[in-house]
Structure 1
Amino acid sequence: MNAKLIKTGKVIDNKEILAVELTNNKGTYVKIYNYGAIVSKFVVVNADGEKQDIVLGLDDFEDYVQTDYLENYPYLGAVIGRYANRIKNGEFSIDGVPFKLAQNNGSDCLHGGLRGFDRRVWDILPTIDPSVTLQYLSPDGEEGFPGNLAVQLTFKLTDENELILDYKATTDIPTAINLTHHGYFNLSPKGGNIGSHIHHMPASYYLEQDSNYVVTGKLVAVEGTIHDFLGPKPIAQDWNAQEGYDQTYVLDKEYGTLTLASETSEAESGLTLSVYTTEPIAHFYTGKYINVRNAKGGKDYHAFEGFCVETQHHPNAINIPAFPGTVLRPGEEYHQTTIFKIGLTSI
């Protein structure tokens, strides 16, 4: 396996935009930008021996910063921080001190605010293993969050066809943190609607949401609902065809252990994507709001043409004391690991 740096010729915030290419001996290839830690390509060999790109993305880097893309911004393949998903009313308190964030999704704060980690230039650090480590230093007050936060995200592509994402962070002031990665997957060789993909998620409960998809604090059993993925089933089997899924699931696991979060397969390609994580929840999103023109190969992306498994802590947990804590304090280290593993269901 090897890692290769490629210059894009672009500069943002006085920093050079670079692409990192990781390859392994299985023919798998991943392309990552240091802008937003965007995974723009994830090429694997399917059951027919054909190379297939399984993530939604754009052909050229400059397309990720174009106005028309950002107007219907789907966060294609980007890291999310400081705080994934929605924070109610864009506000929270730590130790009795209130903080106010941008209300960039109705009255709520979504995915870190107006310009989160997905639109920042990360530094590329030297690494010993065949991997790449990106670092971003988020200053105190950025997007309203307290504390100087140092974040490192390491991507490692193994010869077992695992793309490992390992996150670490430290702060000098107590702050709220909840990181994830927003990759959109489609395992079909032809792309298109992902409703026929077979999906399994070991989660007996999901989190109730209000009308703006903000978690309320209530857990609801999946049994007898459209949200039951305890047994594998087609994604579209029970869904509301106009809404799809945009729901947070509480994984059946011991807190902090690295276990299966989901498994998704597609018959024509013979590919299976298994997601493992140390995080307590996975947010399953089937792309209702995807609307991207002139994406890879000149294609347009439409609703329900990609799915996300966003591993993280409970959304809005900073405002819900009963949920696992998302406050990071000086002297502590935030750490989470998520693995995207590719396998074959047929050969």
Structure 2
Amino acid sequence: MKANQIHTGTFVNQKEVIAVELTNTKGTFVKLFNYGTIINQFVVKNAQGEWQDIVLGFDDIEGYLSEEYLANYPYFGSVIGRYANRIKNGEFTVDGISYQLAQNAGSDCLHGGTEGLDKKVWDIIELHHGINPSVTFQYFSLDGEEGFPGDLAIQLKFTLTENDELILAYQADTDEATPVNLTHHSYFNLSKNGEGIQSHYHQMNASQWLAQDDNYVVTGELLPVAGSLHDFRTGKRIAEGWDSENGYDQSYLLDKNYNDLTLASRTHADDSGLVLAVYTTEPVAHFYTAKYLDVKNGKGGKSYGSFDAFCVETQHAPNSINIPSFPTTVLQPEELYQQTTIYKVEVKK
């Protein structure tokens, strides 16, 4: 029932980074930064009645700005855009005009380019106190930013409910046809002691997954999960039968009606009893078990490595701007982009 702003005294591109704290009547607590709309803390009560932070990150904003962190940058807890995941060769065509983006992941464009929405200081345009506290951030991405056409006005509202749901409600509009595919990139660990996520139990409502090339770019081919290590429909331990060297870094086509708000995944840890359920209006969830994670001096001085967290990134299919058979990600000037994702925390009975 609280929504507080805290000045950090840290400036990025002459704009101050502000922390926003949301607290419900149970004491569940979320801390966000207006830099990249980072989810810095998500503190919930586990089955033993202990308070537990379920997201990876740093103790303060300086950690997210350090050269060491940015050199092997995992996008801790940040918004991703204008376009989530990879675009093949950083190229696309809209209305007969070809555009070239930064090639910041080999020959491909990753997560919106060199300086995407994750590295911008957003404006705080509304704070709501009382039951279900919320904050709304806004950013104007100008025509040509990172190579994308059109001025894009984006709002992202975070609401913390009495049911321990963190609701992310996105909307955007443009003055020119442009591809838009937004997501959020929190790294979750539900274990009491922050141990690896191999023993977490994960269930994903997806009968198909999206084939990728050697650089993790979606090709357009849909593959059945049945009979493969990608079958999470009835749930299993993350490490059960997996490729122990690579883990998971794949996109899954959710079993749902387009645009309906439905359950994408449920993940729980035995030792804490915590369950994270992810609901979304988006058609795809990208499941990543953090193979490439290598961060020093995280929260409390802890280092984070491979398989210390998992991500469920709700979005449209990566590279779908180049795959005509997939639902369009082109936003037209007369349209309003909208999507909702919910992180709901429960205690397993």
TM-score, normalised with respect to structure 2: 0.98
2: distance between equivalents of 1:240 and 1:53? Answer: 28
Of 232, 236, 248, the residue aligned with 2:251 is: 248
Match of residue 141 from structure 2: 138
Residue 10 in structure 1 maps to residue 10 in structure 2: yes
1:128, distance to aligned residue in structure 2 (A): 4.4
- Aligned partner (choices 269, 272, 285) of residue 266 of structure 1: 269
Counterpart of 2:147, as a letter, is G
2:313 is aligned with 1:310:
yes
Q: Structure 2 unaligned runs (5+)?
A: none
Distance 1:46 1:196 in 2: 17
Q: Which residue of structure 2 aligns with residue 189 of structure 1?
A: 192
Aligned partner letter, 1:53: D
Q: How does 1:322-333 map to 2 (within 5 A)?
A: 322-333=325-336
Query: In the alignment, is residue 205 of structure 1 matched against residue 189 of structure 2?
Result: no
Q: Tell me the CA shift for residue 192 of structure 1.
A: 2.0
The 4+ residue runs of structure 1 with deviation greater than 3 A are: none
Instruction: Quote the Cα distance in structure 2 between the aligned partners of 1:242 and 1:248.
Output: 18
- Tell me how far apart the structure 2 counterparts of residues 54 and 250 of structure 1 sit (CA, whole Å): 26
Alpha-carbon offset, residue 14 of structure 1: 1.5
Equivalent positions of 1:66-105 (< 5 A) are: 66-105=66-105
Match of 1:290 in 2: 293
Q: Deviations over 1:149-185 (max 9, x none)?
A: 0000000000000000000000001001000000000
Q: Is it true that 1:171 corresponds to 2:155 in the alignment?
A: no
Alpha-carbon separation, structure 1, partners of 2:193 and 2:336? 42
Aligned mates of 1:51, 1:126 — CA distance in 2:
28
CA deviations on 1:16-57 (whole Å, 9 max, x unpaired) are: 110000001122100000000000100000000000000000
Q: In structure 2, what is the Cα distance between the partners aligned to 1:13 and 1:168?
A: 24
The equivalent residue for 2:228 is: 225
Contact 2:126 2:137 in 1 (8 A): no
SS in 2 for 1:332: coil
Report the alpha carbon displacement of residue 327 of structure 1 after superposing the two structures with TM: 0.1
1:204 match: secondary structure:
strand
Aligned position for 1:320:
323
Structure 1: runs of 5 or more not aligned: none
| 2:203 is the counterpart of 1:162 | no
Provide, for residues 292-323 of structure 1, a one-character-per-residue CA deviation record: whole Å limited to 9, x for no partner. Answer: 00000001001000000000001100000000
CA-atom RMSD in angstroms: 0.7
Is 1:257 matched up with 2:285?
Answer: no
State the alpha-carbon separation in 1 of the partners of residues 123 and 152 from structure 2.
Answer: 14
**Distance across 1 between alignment mates of 2:71 and 2:16:** 24
**Secondary structure at the residue paired with 2:199?**
coil
Q: Pick from 334, 337, 340 the counterpart of residue 334 of structure 1.
A: 337
Identity %: 62
User: 1:32-111 maps to which residues of 2 (within 5 A)?
Assistant: 32-111=32-111
What does residue 118 of structure 2 align with? Answer: 118
The one-letter code sitting in structure 1 at the alignment partner of 2:212 is Q
Q: Which amino acid aligns with 1:132?
A: V
CA distance, structure 1, for counterparts of residue 126 and residue 206 of structure 2: 38
CA shift for structure 1 position 232: 1.0
For 1:125 and 1:238, locate their aligned partners in 2 and report how far apart those are by CA, in whole Å.
47
Count how many residue pairs are aligned between Structure 1 and Structure 2. 346
- The offset of 1:126, in angstroms, is 2.0
Q: Which residue of 2 aligns with 1:151?
A: 154
The separation in 2 between residues aligned to 1:90 and 1:22, in whole angstroms, is 37
Matches of 1:127 and 1:345, distance apart in 2: 32
1:281 corresponds, among 278, 281, 284, to 284
With normalisation by structure 1, the TM-score equals 0.99
> What's the CA shift string for 1:202-226, capped at 9, x where partnerless?
1000000000000000000000000
Using the alignment, how far apart are the partners of 1:270 and 1:3 within structure 2?
28
